[in-house]
RNA sequence: UGGGAUGUAGCCAAGUGGUAAGGCAUCGGCCUUUGGAGCCGACAUCCGCAGGUUCGAAUCCUGCCAUCCCAGCCA
């Protein structure tokens, strides 16, 4: 499958800034961005927004984008995460070429810069404990107080910092702090810690270091080292920008521009790594790639395409306003993509048997079906038809309401690509459940149209009872019942108990050749893909990506 | 009188002094061998509120209100 339905790119304030910078030649005509994940969890749809922004904007203006792992905290990070992140960015369709960087690659240089800060009297070694630092930081409305170690001599600071690096002190015994302003209204400027001691092995540098630089200190310098032009990050870092600028200015080094935009929130889900990690660890879901998760890997397994996610990212725009995008927009994007690309199949999810009494007992006919009415090049296929078939249980009603135009006693419907049938009677078991529906067919309507031109309102899908494939189909609903799960004391309490339902379905025979990841529209039901986790050589398992729009559900008030 | 930011339709979002783009959702209608898709139409006398400047204000000024972020040796 291939296709592309991305809408034309829209304007946003970041593009406006870049366009202006290009006009004034601020960066010598360069546009160089970076996507800087911390490898401490899987990427989610919110990261996809950032990825599409960073790579997209560079692409649009002839620039390039680095992939940089912000790996300055060895206690939280792991290679499992760097591998998944690389896979996800690649899958989304972006290429960082050979520019795969790690903040940890810069540890040596960062250390040298720290020494320079010390020499300039702009940083000092502080012996205060974490608790004491917290207590002297002040509050939102009151200034902090200066550390008693703030005015150590440069020589002493140099000596101590070197000994911190050499491993002479235990975790937490000392920190290196920037000497800025304990009275600043911006808490980030109250002598922030820029190095801490952690005798922890790092997934890349091993045991080489026992001091690790903090985010604020590392990020701006990494951007500087990589000659980034526009450093795009989310709103919560707005308060950190003065520190970003301070470090680079004090060191007098290349100085990128940090620009903040609003992170994505999506209705009916949660979107923080911490919360997603909780869902995984507390076993509410099957893992980071559970199809109900808003992770890239979850969406991939669910059947979303990279094109649909890029289209979504384009449609939601980029601005500074806090936002919660309607899940319906994401669903719209995948439907629109798959409508044009996915071949159709008839699959009965909740089967009930129909017997066509006047159809010859042993006859089996081959009928022609269109693979995708939206794509003439997709061709046709043959479907087997016989006396006994399955239809959806809810495509029959004994006492139908007004405007119900599927099968009911005396009402004629079309079996898609087959014949018109009319229900004559039903057979029930002792508890009143329908076990068989008896019908007659009109042999003149083969293919699904009648020579006399009479109209039937309803068309339903079916499979031949003796010519079908058993498959498991996993039907997903939103993981959460409320559009804003975070309004609950415990967001876990809002989990939808019906977010996963597994049914045994009867599918058209040709589906047996489907491969993991293949996508189909099950006619009248939705889009489905072959699951990568539970499919075996014996049994195909499908995931429902999204339902089709169902205007009958609205009419019937469901 | 802590600091920073944001308020345009149910949800996103353009617009930057010349009289409110676009998308999703919703609601009508047409069409249809998927109650799908497609097509057509409706949907802000008004831009958080109140004043002011101007021939003219969502855009400029003043004041107010609301919401979000910040007190990790996390990122």
pLDDT digits (tens, 9 = 90+) for A278-316: 999 999 999 999 999 999 999 999 999 999 999 999 999
pLDDT digits (tens, 9 = 90+) for A452-462: 989 999 999 99
Is A26 in the active site? Answer: no
Query: Are A223 and A309 contained in the same domain?
Result: no
A508 touches strand B (CB under 7 A): no
User: Which residues of A in 445-464 have their CB below 7 Å from strand B's atoms?
Assistant: 447-449, 458-460
Tokens (6 digits) for A236: 């919560």
Q: How confident is the model at residue A3 (pLDDT cuts 50, 70, 90)?
A: very low
Quick check: A512 pLDDT over 60?
yes
Amino acid A522: pLDDT: 98
Amino acid A9: pLDDT: 60
User: Which residue, A356, A342, A420, is CA-closest to A387?
Assistant: A356
Query: Are A95 and A147 contained in the same domain?
Result: yes
Nucleotide nearest to A445 (CA to C1'): B33
pLDDT digits (tens, 9 = 90+) for A245-266: 999 999 999 999 999 999 999 9
Q: Is residue A411 assigned to a domain? A: yes
Q: Which of A8-22, A64-78, A495-509, A517-531 has the lowest mean pLDDT?
A: A8-22
Q: How many domains does chain A have?
A: 3
Quick check: A234 pLDDT over 80?
yes
Is A273 in the active site? Answer: yes
Could you tell me which residues come within 8 angstroms of residue A152 by beta carbon, excluding any fewer than 6 positions away? Answer: A124, A125, A160
Quick check: A36 pLDDT over 70?
yes
| Whether A9 contacts A56, CB under 8 Å | yes
The label of the residue with tokens 């302003």 reads A181
Q: What percent of chain A has pLDDT over 70?
A: 98
A398 CA to B18 C1' distance (Å): 65
ipTM of the prediction greater than 0.95, yes or no: yes
Amino acid A1: pLDDT: 33
Amino acid A8: pLDDT: 45
Question: What's the whole-number mean pLDDT along residues A92-108?
Answer: 98
Query: Are A255 and A147 contained in the same domain?
Result: yes
Q: Is residue A5 assigned to a domain? A: no
| Whether A88 contacts A42, CB under 8 Å | yes
Q: Is residue A6 assigned to a domain? A: no
Question: What's the rounded Cα separation, in Å, for the pair A289 and A43?
Answer: 10
Q: How confident is the model at residue A2 (pLDDT cuts 50, 70, 90)?
A: very low
Q: Is residue A100 assigned to a domain? A: yes
Nucleotide nearest to A218 (CA to C1'): B75
Q: Is residue A19 assigned to a domain? A: no
Question: What's the whole-number mean pLDDT along residues A13-32?
Answer: 97
Question: What's the rounded Cα separation, in Å, for the pair A117 and A216?
Answer: 15
CA distances from A422 to A358, A366, A367, A372 (A): 11, 21, 20, 28
Q: How confident is the model at residue A7 (pLDDT cuts 50, 70, 90)?
A: very low
Question: What's the rounded Cα separation, in Å, for the pair A159 and A156?
Answer: 5
Question: What's the rounded Cα separation, in Å, for the pair A492 and A480?
Answer: 8
Tokens (6 digits) for A465: 């009872």
Question: What's the whole-number mean pLDDT along residues A331-339?
Answer: 98
Chain B: positions less than 7 Å from a protein CB are: 2-8, 10-16, 21-27, 33-38, 67-75
Q: Is residue A16 assigned to a domain? A: no
Domain endpoint, select from A237, A266, A295 = A266
- Rounded to 10°, the helix A45-60/A13-24 angle is 30
The 3 state secondary structure assigned to A170-230 is CCCCCEEEECCCCCCCCHHHCCCEEEEECCCCECCCECCCCEEECHHHHHHHHHHHCCCCE
| Marked catalytic residue, from A165, A174, A204, A273 | A273
User: Which residues of A in 521-540 have their CB below 7 Å from strand B's atoms?
Assistant: 521, 523-524
Q: Is residue A319 assigned to a domain? A: yes
| Whether A535 contacts A512, CB under 8 Å | no
The CATH code of the domain that includes A226 is: 3.40.50.620
The CATH code of the domain that includes A282 is: 2.40.240.10
A20 touches strand B (CB under 7 A): no
pLDDT digits (tens, 9 = 90+) for A150-191: 999 999 999 999 999 999 999 999 999 999 999 999 999 999
pLDDT digits (tens, 9 = 90+) for A389-402: 999 999 999 999 99
| Marked catalytic residue, from A38, A314, A508, A523 | A38
Amino acid A4: pLDDT: 33
pLDDT digits (tens, 9 = 90+) for A406-429: 999 999 999 999 999 999 999 999
Question: What's the rounded Cα separation, in Å, for the pair A350 and A358?
Answer: 25
Question: What's the whole-number mean pLDDT along residues A84-104?
Answer: 98
Domain endpoint, select from A412, A430, A461 = A461
Question: What's the rounded Cα separation, in Å, for the pair A531 and A525?
Answer: 17
pLDDT digits (tens, 9 = 90+) for A530-552: 999 999 999 999 999 999 999 99
Query: Are A145 and A253 contained in the same domain?
Result: yes
Return the CA Rg of chain A: 31
Q: How confident is the model at residue A558 (pLDDT cuts 50, 70, 90)?
A: low
Domain endpoint, select from A408, A431, A461 = A461
Question: Domain range holding A104?
Answer: 31-266
Amino acid A555: pLDDT: 82
Tokens (6 digits) for A78: 């792991």
Q: Is residue A17 assigned to a domain? A: no
Query: Are A64 and A175 contained in the same domain?
Result: yes
Query: Are A307 and A353 contained in the same domain?
Result: no
Question: What's the whole-number mean pLDDT along residues A431-447?
Answer: 97
Query: Are A507 and A415 contained in the same domain?
Result: no
Query: pTM here?
Result: 0.96
Amino acid A467: pLDDT: 98
Question: What's the whole-number mean pLDDT along residues A121-145?
Answer: 97
Q: Residue A57 carries which DSSP code?
A: H
Query: Are A150 and A261 contained in the same domain?
Result: yes
Query: Are A364 and A495 contained in the same domain?
Result: no
Question: What's the rounded Cα separation, in Å, for the pair A145 and A124?
Answer: 15
Residues in chain A: 558
Query: Are A334 and A365 contained in the same domain?
Result: no
Query: Are A118 and A230 contained in the same domain?
Result: yes
| Marked catalytic residue, from A86, A263, A353, A393 | A263
Quick check: A363 pLDDT over 80?
yes
Is A263 in the active site? Answer: yes
A412 touches strand B (CB under 7 A): no
Amino acid A556: pLDDT: 82
Amino acid A208: pLDDT: 98
Q: What does pLDDT average to over chain A?
A: 96
- Rounded to 10°, the helix A79-92/A45-60 angle is 50
Query: Are A388 and A300 contained in the same domain?
Result: no
Percentages of chain A per state (helix, strand, coil), in multiples of 5: 30, 25, 45
User: Which residues of A in 93-112 have their CB below 7 Å from strand B's atoms?
Assistant: none
Question: What's the rounded Cα separation, in Å, for the pair A290 and A308?
Answer: 19
């Amino acid at each position: 499958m291939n296709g592309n339905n991305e809408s034309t790119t829209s304007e946003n304030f970041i593009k406006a800034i870049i366009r202006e910078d290009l006009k004034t030649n601020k960066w010598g005509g360069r546009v160089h961005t970076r996507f800087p994940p911390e490898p401490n969890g899987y990427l989610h749809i919110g990261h996809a927004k950032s990825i599409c922004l960073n790579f997209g904007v560079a692409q649009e203006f002839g620039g390039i984008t680095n992939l940089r792992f912000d790996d300055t905290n060895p206690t939280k990070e792991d290679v499992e995460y760097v591998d998944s992140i690389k896979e996800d960015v690649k899958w989304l369709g972006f290429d960082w070429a050979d520019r795969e960087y790690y903040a940890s690659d810069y540890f040596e240089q960062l250390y040298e810069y720290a020494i320079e800060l010390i020499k300039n009297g702009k940083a000092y070694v502080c012996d205060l404990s974490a608790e004491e630092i917290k207590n002297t930081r002040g509050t939102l409305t009151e200034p902090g107080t200066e550390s008693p170690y703030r005015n150590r001599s440069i020589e002493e600071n140099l000596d101590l910092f070197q000994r911190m690096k050499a491993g002479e002190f235990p975790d937490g015994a000392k920190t290196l702090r920037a000497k800025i302003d304990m009275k600043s209204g911006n808490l980030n400027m109250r002598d922030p810690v820029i190095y801490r001691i952690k005798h922890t092995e790092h997934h890349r540098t091993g045991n080489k270091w026992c001091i690790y630089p903090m985010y604020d200190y590392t990020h701006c310098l990494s951007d500087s080292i990589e000659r980034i032009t526009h450093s795009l990050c989310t709103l919560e870092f707005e308060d950190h920008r003065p520190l970003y600028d301070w470090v680079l200015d004090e060191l007098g080094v290349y100085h990128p521009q940090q620009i903040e935009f609003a992170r994505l929130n999506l209705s009916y889900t949660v979107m923080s790594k911490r919360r997603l990690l909780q869902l995984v660890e507390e076993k509410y879901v099957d893992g980071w790639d559970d199809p109900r998760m808003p992770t890239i890997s979850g969406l991939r397994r669910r059947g979303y395409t990279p094109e649909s996610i890029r289209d979504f990212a384009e449609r939601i725009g980029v601005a500074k306003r806090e936002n919660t995008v309607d899940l319906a927009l994401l669903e719209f994007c995948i439907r629109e993509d798959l409508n044009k690309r996915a071949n159709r199949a008839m699959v009965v999810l909740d089967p009930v048997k129909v017997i066509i009494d006047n159809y010859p007992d042993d006859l089996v006919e081959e009928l022609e079906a269109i693979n995708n009415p939206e794509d003439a090049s997709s061709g046709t296929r043959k479907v087997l038809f016989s006396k006994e078939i399955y239809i959806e249980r809810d495509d029959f009603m004994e006492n139908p309401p007004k405007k119900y135009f599927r099968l009911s006693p005396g009402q004629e419907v079309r079996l898609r690509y087959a014949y018109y049938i009319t229900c004559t009677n039903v057979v029930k078991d002792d508890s009143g459940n329908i076990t068989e529906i008896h019908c007659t067919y009109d042999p003149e309507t083969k293919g699904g149209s009648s020579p006399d031109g009479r109209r039937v309102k309803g068309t339903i899908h079916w499979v031949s009872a003796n010519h079908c494939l058993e498959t498991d189909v996993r039907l997903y609903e939103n993981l959460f019942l409320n559009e804003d799960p975070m309004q609950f004391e415990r967001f876990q309490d809002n989990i939808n108990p019906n977010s996963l339902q597994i049914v045994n379905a009867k599918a058209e025979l040709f589906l047996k050749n489907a491969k993991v990841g293949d996508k189909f529209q099950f006619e009248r039901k939705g889009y489905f893909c072959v699951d990568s986790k539970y499919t075996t050589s014996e049994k195909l398992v499908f995931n429902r990506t999204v339902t089709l729009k169902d205007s009958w559900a609205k009419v019937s008030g469901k």
